[in-house]
Amino acid sequence: MSGAHWTAYVVGKLSEWTEEDSKCKARVTNSSRIYFQELAWATHLNIGVVTAKPDLRAYLNFARLMSQGLNSTGALHFWVDIPMVAPKLPTVVANTLSPGEEPWEVWNTIRTMCEGNRRLGVLLRMPDKLPKEDIIQRWKAEPIRGLVVPTTAFTASKDLIPKLSKEYAKAFLGLITADTRIIISGSSIYPNGHEPFLGALRSLWQSLPPPTEDVTVGIPYRDFLQAPLQPLMDNLQSQTYEVFEKDPVKYSQYQKAIYTALTTKYKDEKSVCVVVVGAGRGPLVRCALRASQEAKKDLRLYAVEKNPNAIVTLRNAEKEEWKGRVKVIQSDMRQWEPDEKADILVSELLGSFGDNELSPECLDGAQHSIKTSGISIPKDSTSYLQPVAAPKVWGDLQSQHTIKAFETPYVVLLHRFCPLAQSEACFKFVHPNHEKPLDNTREKLIRFQPAKIDSILHGFAGYFESTLYEEVNISIRPKTFSKGMFSWFPIFFPLCIPLKINKGQTVEMKIWRRNDESKVWYEWCVIKPSLTPIHNSNGRSYHIGLR
C-alpha cells in the first residue's frame, strides 16, 4: 500500500491488553513502553488515526499517556474507544481513583486532562438497546469520529434483510456526520459477512429526504464561529444583503404585519405614512408595497438608509422600479428630520440576541419620526439564553489562546452541542419606547431548570423572539422557531473555563447590558453551581460601537 493509502484508509489499533493503570508498577512501566513503541510504528507508517481503549474503572494514567502522545506527535489523531453504555460487570472492583462509572464521564475526564485537544475524538460503541434520550443527546455534542453498531441491534425482516428499529435508526442518524466512520461489530449469519448490515445503514442514509433550503444554507456554517455584525460602524456588503433577501419567512412575516396594521389600526385611513428605516437594498420597502396593494391602501412611503453603497441600489429602484412611489433618503435614522411623521415605522435591525446590533439605540434615536399615535414594526424584541455543552466550538476558542476569544459573543450555528436546560427570557425592549429617561442598560439574574444529566457547561446559546405586530412574530428561539427562516443563527456567550454540572444542579448566571456614550457591551458570569469571573468586564474584549 502507498503511504497516502495508509494515511487515508488505515485506522491503527493500540493494544488493548496493556494495563496503564495497574497497581503493579512493572505492568504500568511495560504498558507505557508498549504504547510508545506502537505510536512510533504508527508514525513510521504515516497512519492518520489510532484507537485506544481505556479501562472504565481506572484510566488516569491512560489519560496522561494520551496527553503525552498527542503532544509528542504532530498530526496523529487519537480515538478513545468507549461504549455509550457501561457494560455490566459481574463485580466491579472499586478503584478509588475512578471519578465515575458512566462512560461519558470517563471520556470527559480524558478529554479534560488532554486540554480538549482537537486531535482527540471518540470511537463510540452503540449498545444493543438504546439508553435514555438524554444520554444519546449528550453524546451528540461530542466529536464522534467512528461509530460502532453491533449486529445484535438489528432485526431481520421477512426477506432476511437486517434492519434497525425506528428509534435506533433515528439515534444512529443523529450521531453521525458525512465523515463519521461506521463499523459493524459482532457475528453475522450472512454468507457475505457484515455486508448486509453495512448495506442496511447505507440505505438508511440514502433514504433521508434532501435537506430543506434553510438546512442547506446552514450546512457550511455548522459550528463555525463568526464575529457578530457591526451594522453601525461598518457598511454591509451587497452579498450580505443578498443572503438576507433570500429568506423565505422573514419578509412574508413583515408583509403580514404591515398588512394587519393597515387593515386594522389604519382601516379607516385613506392613506398611511410608512417609513422604512435601515432599508438596505429595499426588501422591506417591497413588503410595504405588496401589503398596501393587498390591503388596497395608499401609502406615503419613505426609505431611510445610512449605507452610501446600499443607497445606490435604492436610488436605482426608486427610479426604475418604484417610479415615484417611494422617497429614498440617505441619512442616519437618528439624525433624520422628516417633513412628515410616520404612522408606521418599519425596521429590521435585530441581531441574533435581539438587541446586539443596537436596534434599541437606533429605534430610540428614530422614534422622533413617529406620530404620537404611530407604531413601530417590530413592536418588541426579547432575548433568551440557554446553558449548553458545546465542546467543539469551545475547543476552537481555546485554540486562539487569548482571553478575548472567551469574552466575545459569537454568531454560530450550533450543531454539535447539547442543551442543559430550556432557554429563559433575558432582556426585553419595546418600541416606541415611552420610558423617561430612555435607558437601554439592563441586568438579569437567570436561574435555569435543574440539569437532567451530568454534563459540562461551555457557555450560553442566545436567541431572540420579536413581535412584529399583534400576533405576527419572528423567532429563532428553539421552542417558537419560525420554521424555514435562516437570516439568523444563534449567538454563543462562552465561558473561560468549562464547568462540571451534576444532574439536578441549577445553573444561575448573571448578565449585564452596559453602555457609555460611544459603545454598548455585555458582561456575564456564572453564579451557581460555581462562581466564575465576570467575562468582558467593562467591555475590555468586545463592544458594539454606537458610531
Ligand X SMILES: C[S@@+](CC[C@H](N)C(=O)[O-])C[C@H]1O[C@@H](n2cnc3c(N)ncnc32)[C@H](O)[C@@H]1O
| Cβ-based nearer residue to ligand X, 348 or 407 | 348
Q: How far is the CB of 245 from ligand X (least distance, A)?
A: 6
Chain residues binding ligand X by CB under 6 A are 231-232, 236, 241, 244-245, 277-280, 283-284, 304-307, 310, 332-334, 348-349, 362
CB proximity list for 89: less than 8 A, separation 6 or greater: none
Rounded Cα distance between 464 and 29, Å, is 55
Rounded Cα distance between 66 and 117, Å, is 10
Q: How far is the CB of 242 from ligand X (least distance, A)?
A: 9
105 near 99, Cβ under 8 Å?
yes
Given the residues 348, 361, 465, 523, the one annotated as active site: 348
258 near 291, Cβ under 8 Å?
yes
348 in active site: yes
Tracing cell 436546560 back to the chain, one arrives at 421
Q: How far apart are the first and last CA of the chain?
A: 61
168 has binding-site annotation: no
| Cβ-based nearer residue to ligand X, 77 or 334 | 334
251 has binding-site annotation: yes
Residue nearest to ligand X (CB): 278
409: its cell numbers: 459573543
Q: How far is the CB of 213 from ligand X (least distance, A)?
A: 17
CB proximity list for 366: less than 8 A, separation 6 or greater: 277, 304, 333, 334, 336, 345, 347
Question: For the CA atoms of the chain, what is the radius of gyration?
Answer: 28
Query: Minimal CA–CA distance to 273: which of 250, 315, 303, 313?
Result: 303
CB proximity list for 215: less than 8 A, separation 6 or greater: none
Inter-axis angle of helices 103-113 and 133-140, nearest 10: 20
Helix (H, G, I), strand (E, B) or coil at 17: coil
Given the residues 38, 142, 357, 523, the one annotated as active site: 357
H helices of 211-358, in order, are 213-218, 238-245, 250-263, 283-295, 308-320
Q: How far is the CB of 332 from ligand X (least distance, A)?
A: 4
Q: How far is CA 15 from the centre of its chain?
A: 37
Task: Give the up-direction half-sphere exposure of residue 84: CA atoms within 13 A in the CB hemisphere.
Answer: 27
Q: How far is the CB of 192 from ligand X (least distance, A)?
A: 56
| Cβ-based nearer residue to ligand X, 47 or 310 | 310
* Pairing state between β 424-430 and 442-447: unpaired
| Cβ-based nearer residue to ligand X, 281 or 392 | 281
The CA distances from residue 180 to 1, 53, 175, 186, in Å, are: 23, 18, 9, 19
CB proximity list for 81: less than 8 A, separation 6 or greater: 51, 52, 53, 54, 123, 125
Query: Minimal CA–CA distance to 537: which of 518, 517, 511?
Result: 511
Query: Minimal CA–CA distance to 108: which of 32, 178, 172, 54?
Result: 54
Q: How far is the CB of 326 from ligand X (least distance, A)?
A: 13
Q: How far is the CB of 284 from ligand X (least distance, A)?
A: 5
241 has binding-site annotation: yes
| Cβ-based nearer residue to ligand X, 196 or 378 | 378
Q: How far is the CB of 15 from ligand X (least distance, A)?
A: 57
105: its cell numbers: 464521564
| Cβ-based nearer residue to ligand X, 124 or 288 | 288
333 has binding-site annotation: yes
| Cβ-based nearer residue to ligand X, 146 or 378 | 378
| Cβ-based nearer residue to ligand X, 307 or 515 | 307
Tracing cell 446552514 back to the chain, one arrives at 218
250 has binding-site annotation: yes
Binding site feature residues = 241, 250-251, 305, 332-333
Q: Which residues are annotated as catalytic? A: 348, 357
| Residue ranges of the binding site for S-adenosyl-L-methionine | 241, 250-251, 305, 332-333
